[in-house]
Structure 1
Amino acid sequence: MAYYSPASLLTDSQKAPLTFDLAVPALSPLNNNNAITPGTRLDLPLWLAEMLAVSKPSGPGSAALATLDMPTALDVKVLNALRADPKSVDLRAQAMWFYGLGERMFELFEEEEVTAVLVDTFKQRALEIADKAQNTRAALQSGEGNEFIGGMDETERLCA
């Protein structure tokens, strides 16, 4: 995605879990003015979580400041549901920019399995979107597919 594109900015604003490995008293406003100690877990915007995860304090042998974890939108339960039936998962409920979040996580983690599931999901859902686009009147009159249309993420909505 382009640096200044709205889709990229909105993707980077989605929450990602971050676990602090060191005490960081200067960042206590992020935790409702509670002390940030080792093991503190916060859901922060992806852009901030990424910056904190790659930051290292100065000094020899210093450990990483924090560890970025996979967001709940891409956890094992969601991936298993996508493997079983991609069309039945409400992607919008997981993350508004679901595919963008998956792309950013691949850049950070290089999880080949997650990428394979997301590519397969996109292909299968694209077929469903194309079918609904060709038969809009029938889909709207019968009422079937409204849940699917409501569960499309923003990437799918832009493509439809």
Structure 2
Amino acid sequence: MAYYSPTAILTDAQKTPTTFSLAVPALSPLNNSAPITPTTKLDLPLWLAEMLAVSKPAGPSSSALATLDMPAALGGKVLNALRADPRSVELRQQAQWFYGLGERMLELFEEEEMGAVLLDTFKQRALEIADKAQNTRTAQQGGDSGDFMSGLDETERQLFRAAHDGTHAVKKWFETTSRT
């Protein structure tokens, strides 16, 4: 995680399913004050889940405190839908920082197929984002871009804004240079 990056901080704050391997009574506030026993499953922020997954208790036990599970946003159903048609999935409903979450999961899990699906998804969706962003009238007036924007994760929204602002700046530049 980049220390001062708001994007990295917000990505690491996304909930991730975590299964405890050992009883951890000191962490019961995470479970609404219920005791945390082996097999307790909780959705924890990614940064905390990762720390628990790599932490080992003192003593003879060699297992980690918890195991990190793949979030539903990157589960089989979503990946199958992305394989079928990447543009049909509203990524923001899966995770606000979908690609950031995918990147972090790829750092933690060896999932080459997931990486390929995410890369292909980004490429296909980026083409549509660039196309919509160049239609400045639709982007400025809201048009159908409101519905379109609601399904984009934050990375895609930033891409849309950059493409739209760049197109607008080029048009403005052409207008000013053609007058001189």
What is the TM-score with the length of structure 1 in the denominator?
0.93
Rounded to whole Å, the distance in 2 between the matches of 1:28 and 1:129 is 44
Structure 1 residues not aligned, in runs of 5+: none
Percent of aligned positions that are identical: 76
Shift of 1:143: 5.1
Asked if residue 130 in structure 1 is aligned to residue 130 in structure 2, the reply is yes
Rounded to whole Å, the distance in 2 between the matches of 1:117 and 1:148 is 21
- Checking the alignment, whether the CA contact within 8 Å between 1:87 and 1:148 is kept in structure 2 is no
User: What is the correspondence of 1:143-158 to structure 2 with a 5 Å cutoff?
Assistant: 144=144, 146-158=146-158
| Structure 1 partner of 2:169 | none
Rounded to whole Å, the distance in 1 between the matches of 2:63 and 2:138 is 59
Rounded to whole Å, the distance in 2 between the matches of 1:12 and 1:82 is 23
| Structure 2 partner of 1:39 | 39
* Secondary structure, counterpart of 2:147 in structure 1: helix
Rounded to whole Å, the distance in 2 between the matches of 1:9 and 1:142 is 30
- RCO higher in 1 or 2 (8 Å CA, sep ≥ 6)? 1
Q: Which has the larger radius of gyration?
A: 2
Structure 2 letter corresponding to 1:134:
Q
User: What is the correspondence of 1:78-117 to structure 2 with a 5 Å cutoff?
Assistant: 78-117=78-117
* Secondary structure, counterpart of 1:57 in structure 2: coil
Rounded to whole Å, the distance in 1 between the matches of 2:99 and 2:34 is 34
Cα RMSD for the two superposed structures: 1.8
Rounded to whole Å, the distance in 1 between the matches of 2:92 and 2:106 is 19
